[in-house]
Amino acid sequence: MTPEEKREYKKRWYIKHKELTKVRAKTWYILHKDAHGNSVKKWNMIHREVCNASYRKWRKNNLEKEKERTQKWCNEHKEHLRELTKKWKTEHPECNRITHARRNRELGFIPLNEFFLNSNAHHVDANFVIYIPMGMHKRVWHRQNDSKSMRIINQISWDFLEFSVL
């Protein structure tokens, strides 16, 4: 039997016994689900780059499906996402501080002292920032264009800076 004849025979046999093959495959999968899943995971870990390239290609060709899938996951895991965000913000406080300080006012960010836990960055002018305790910063209500309240909070900030340096 030539290879072509053999292939043709297998093809005819598969078509004739299609239902039986499906039942056998399903049964095998149910019996060996854990082992099969572990072997797939192992292969994926070994061939990480191949998997990532394949996934990037699929994602590029299926943007809408990927968007729906991501949105669905985010909706199902809101609490987990909050925890991850909180964890990231505590691990990267410098990114958070600078972004919030700028807001839409286009203020500079030159710190005059070091950041410490439970501190807020207070702008004493358009460029310079003094880190003061959160409670101290919230004690005096102030805004950038109100000179009276800014004078009070600036004096508190300078006093804190002078006291903390000594």
Q: Answer whether residue 122 is part of any domain.
A: yes
What type of residue is 162? Answer: E
Q: Answer whether residue 50 is part of any domain.
A: no
Q: Answer whether residue 134 is part of any domain.
A: yes
Element (H, E) at 130: strand 128-133
Residue 3: CB atoms within 10 A of its CB come to: 7
Max Cα-Cα span within the chain = 100
CA angle 136, 99, 134 (to 5 degrees): 10
Range of 30-34, 80-84, 106-110 with top mean pLDDT: 80-84
Report the sign of the C-alpha dihedral through residues 142, 148, 154, 160, in that order: negative
Say whether pLDDT at 101 is over 70: no
- Band of residue 47 on the pLDDT scale cut at 50, 70, 90: very high
- Band of residue 93 on the pLDDT scale cut at 50, 70, 90: confident
Range of the domain at 134: 107-165
**What is the mean predicted confidence (pLDDT) over 54-76?**
92
**Residue at token pair 């004078």:** 151
Say whether pLDDT at 17 is over 90: yes
- Band of residue 100 on the pLDDT scale cut at 50, 70, 90: low
Q: Answer whether residue 36 is part of any domain.
A: no
Q: Are 142 and 124 in contact (CB under 8 A)?
A: no
Quote the tokens at residue 70.
Answer: 């991501």
Q: Answer whether residue 130 is part of any domain.
A: yes
- Taking the CA atoms of residue 39, residue 7, residue 25 and residue 55 in that order, the dihedral angle to the nearest 10 degrees is 40
Number of compact structural domains in the chain: 1
**What is the mean predicted confidence (pLDDT) over 34-40?**
87
What's residue 61's pLDDT? Answer: 93
Task: Tell me what percent of the residues of the chain surpass a pLDDT of 90.
Answer: 51
What's residue 57's pLDDT? Answer: 93
Q: Answer whether residue 145 is part of any domain.
A: yes
**What is the mean predicted confidence (pLDDT) over 98-115?**
72
Q: Are 52 and 60 in contact (CB under 8 A)?
A: no
For 112-154, the pLDDT digits (tens) are: 998 888 898 888 888 889 999 998 888 888 877 778 888 999 9
Task: Tell me what percent of the residues of the chain surpass a pLDDT of 70.
Answer: 92
123 by Cβ neighbours in 10 Å (0-12 / 13-18 / 19+) ranks as: buried
Q: Answer whether residue 158 is part of any domain.
A: yes
Report the sign of the C-alpha dihedral through residues 115, 90, 134, 121, in that order: positive
Q: Answer whether residue 21 is part of any domain.
A: no
